[in-house]
Structure 1
C-alpha cells in the first residue's frame, strides 16, 4: 500500500527568481532535497497547473506550486516483540540504549531479530518512515545510545543535522597499548581493498574525523573518551587500528588479547573471553528535530565493560612500578 501526498503553496517574495528545487526546499522543509528533486523529475510537481520536471526552472512570486505524488511502500519487515531499553520517547523521536548482540537493520545472514523489527512492534506507525526511522547505526556488538525518528519530518531534520555534524556522539572505549595523550584522527575511510567486509583508511575513502582523549591509563591498555565528527562505518574501530591501538576484543581489526606481563589469571581469562569490541556510545546530544530544544542523554557503562576496567585497575595496582 502506498501513501498519497498532496501539497500546495504559493511562491513567496523570498523565493522570487529561485530555482524550483531551491524554492521547494524552503516551502516544504519536512522533506529532503533529494526526495523533492525526485518528485520534480518524476513529474509530480506542477507550477500554475503545468507539470514542471526541470529542477533548475526559475519560479516567480505568486506562482502556485502543487505536489501530487505516491510514496511507494518499502519492503515490509516483520514486527517482532523484542525488548527495547527506551531512554526517551515523545511523538517525534525515540532514544534507545542498544545492547551488545543486537543488529540494527536486517541484512545478509540476519533477516530478522533486529532493532528495526523491534521498532515496528513498539511503534507500528513507524513503518511509514523509511528504514523505520533509523538515521544512524551502531555495530552489532557496540552498546549505547541511538536516536530514531518516528515521523518523516523528524527523520528529514535528523538526517540533515547528522550531515551538518550538529549531532554530538561521544563514546567510551578500551584500546590495546598505553597512550600518553589525546588528539584527533583525520583520515578517510572506505572499503578495504581486498577484504570486502572490512573498512580501512584508504586515500579514496570518505572524510572521517575522530577526536579522542585519555580517560585512564593502564599498564598495557588505555581507557578513552571519543567524539565523532563524521559517521563512517566502523569509524572508531578503523581509526584506532590505524593508530596501532585496536580496541580490546575487536578481532576484525587486530584487537587480540595483549595482556601485560605478569597479569593475573583472572585478567588473562577475561581478556580471552571478551569477544566484542570494547566500545560504548555513552552520550548523545542534539537539537530536537521539531521543537529545536537542545537535549542530551547518557547511557551507563555496561557491566562487561565495567568489569574490564576494574580488572585493569587491579592489575595496575598490583604492579605499581610498571607505570
Structure 2
C-alpha cells in the first residue's frame, strides 16, 4: 500500500538568543527534530521563509524577532518492497522498536541482497517507516551477527537517535567467542578503514576513522575465550577487525580469522563444532539508550542464541576433559 508523503509545517519567532546566527544554524536550534543536513536541503529548496519571504540562503544571518516558517514534504524513501518477514520484536511504541536480529538476515538491501532484509520486513510491519530515511534503521549488524537493533519509526526519533550515536551516548554490548586464551581484558583503540586490496574487507589503518572497543573476559577455555565487549564507536566490522588485529579472531569468522583452528587432541564433537560453526560467534546482547521522545533511559537484553550456547558447552567439556581451569 503506497504511503502518502508527510507534510511538515512549522512556524515560530526567532528569539534574541539567536541574533547573528546563520539561518541553517538557527533552524537547527529551533527545529531540533530534524537533522542539520535535512534543514539545509529544505532551505536550498525554497521551503523556508522569513516574515513571509522565501529565503534559500543557508548562510543568511537572522536578526531576531523574525517569523520563520518551514513548509516542506518528507518524501517516501527508496522504492523498496514490503515483505512479510517475521521480526523478533523486543520492544515497540509509536516512536521506536527494538528487534533481536537472527543470523543470516541482512539489515539493508544491497548488492546481492535486493530484498529479504530487515528493511523489507519493517516496511511490512510498520508501513509508516517508508517516509523515514533508510526505513528508520539507525545502526546495522552484519548479516551473520545476531542480537539487538533499534529502529526509529519517525524522522524526529531517528534524528535524536543518530545524535545519541554520534555523541557515543548509546550503549551497545556484545558477547563473542574468540580463538586463543586471553590473559586479561583491555581496550583496542585503533582506526579502521577500507582494506587496501580487499574491497569487501576492513582493516586497522592509520588513515582510517577512529575506533575503540572495550573487552573483558567472561570465561577462559583451553584454547578459546568468551568475551564481553562494548563499542565506543560503530565502524563496519569493528569488533571482528579489532579482535583479528589482536590475533584473537572470532570463531567462525572466515573473513578475518581464516580456517578453523583445531586444538591438539580435541574430541570429534569439538572438531564438528568448530568446522560447522559457519558464522562469526558474535551477538549484540545489550542495548541502552535515552528514549528519543521521553528521555527515559531504557535497557534491553537478548539471551545468547542456541548456536553460541552449544559452542560454549562444547568448549567447556573440552576444557574439563583436558584438566584445564576455565574460571
How far residue 65 of structure 1 moved from its aligned partner, in angstroms, is 0.7
* Alpha-carbon distance in 2 for matches of 1:240, 1:259: 18
Question: Hey, what does 1:162 align to over in structure 2?
Answer: 165
Match of 2:269 among 266, 271, 274: 266
What is the number of residues matched between the two proteins?
323
**More displaced 10-residue stretch of structure 1: 204-213 or 44-53:** 44-53
Q: Are the aligned partners of 1:85 and 1:98 in contact in 2 as well (CA < 8 Å)?
A: yes
Q: Are the aligned partners of 1:6 and 1:67 in contact in 2 as well (CA < 8 Å)?
A: yes
How far residue 321 of structure 1 moved from its aligned partner, in angstroms, is 4.9
Q: Are the aligned partners of 1:97 and 1:299 in contact in 2 as well (CA < 8 Å)?
A: yes
Are 1:26 and 2:29 an aligned pair? yes
* Alpha-carbon distance in 2 for matches of 1:315, 1:74: 51
In structure 1, list runs of 5 or more residues that go unmatched.
none
Are 1:302 and 2:305 an aligned pair? yes
> Which string of whole-angstrom CA distances, capped at 9 and with x for unpartnered residues, describes residues 165-194 of structure 1?
010000000011111001111111111111
**SS where residue 179 of structure 1 aligns?**
coil
Q: How does 1:27-42 map to 2 (within 5 A)?
A: 27-42=30-45
Question: Hey, what does 1:104 align to over in structure 2?
Answer: 107
* Alpha-carbon distance in 2 for matches of 1:78, 1:44: 29
Which aligned runs of 4 or more in structure 1 are off by greater than 4 angstroms? none
Q: Are the aligned partners of 2:285 and 2:301 in contact in 1 as well (CA < 8 Å)?
A: yes
* Alpha-carbon distance in 2 for matches of 1:293, 1:75: 32
Q: TM-score, normalised by structure 2?
A: 0.96
* Alpha-carbon distance in 1 for matches of 2:132, 2:284: 24
* Alpha-carbon distance in 1 for matches of 2:13, 2:41: 20
Are 1:86 and 2:89 an aligned pair? yes
Q: Are the aligned partners of 1:257 and 1:271 in contact in 2 as well (CA < 8 Å)?
A: yes
Q: TM-score, normalised by structure 1?
A: 0.97
In structure 2, list runs of 5 or more residues that go unmatched.
none
Q: Are the aligned partners of 1:176 and 1:255 in contact in 2 as well (CA < 8 Å)?
A: no
**More displaced 10-residue stretch of structure 1: 277-286 or 71-80:** 71-80
How far residue 47 of structure 1 moved from its aligned partner, in angstroms, is 1.3
**SS where residue 271 of structure 1 aligns?**
helix
> Which string of whole-angstrom CA distances, capped at 9 and with x for unpartnered residues, describes residues 255-278 of structure 1?
421122111110111100000000
How far residue 42 of structure 1 moved from its aligned partner, in angstroms, is 2.6
Q: Do the aligned partners of residues 4 and 91 (structure 1) sit closer, same or farther apart at CA in structure 2, a change above 3 Å counting?
A: closer
Question: Hey, what does 2:215 align to over in structure 1?
Answer: 212
How far residue 290 of structure 1 moved from its aligned partner, in angstroms, is 0.3
Question: Hey, what does 1:257 align to over in structure 2?
Answer: 260
How far residue 74 of structure 1 moved from its aligned partner, in angstroms, is 2.1
Question: Hey, what does 2:152 align to over in structure 1?
Answer: 149
Q: Do the aligned partners of residues 255 and 219 (structure 1) sit closer, same or farther apart at CA in structure 2, a change above 3 Å counting?
A: farther
Question: Hey, what does 1:293 align to over in structure 2?
Answer: 296
* Alpha-carbon distance in 1 for matches of 2:31, 2:96: 20
Q: Are the aligned partners of 1:142 and 1:280 in contact in 2 as well (CA < 8 Å)?
A: yes
**SS where residue 222 of structure 1 aligns?**
strand
Match of 2:316 among 290, 313, 316: 313
Are 1:71 and 2:74 an aligned pair? yes
Question: Hey, what does 2:64 align to over in structure 1?
Answer: 61
* Alpha-carbon distance in 2 for matches of 1:291, 1:178: 44
**SS where residue 320 of structure 1 aligns?**
coil
* Alpha-carbon distance in 2 for matches of 1:91, 1:74: 19
* Alpha-carbon distance in 1 for matches of 2:325, 2:131: 58
Q: Do the aligned partners of residues 321 and 306 (structure 1) sit closer, same or farther apart at CA in structure 2, a change above 3 Å counting?
A: closer
Match of 1:17 among 17, 20, 26: 20
Question: Hey, what does 1:181 align to over in structure 2?
Answer: 184
Supply the RMSD in Å over aligned alpha carbons.
Answer: 1.3
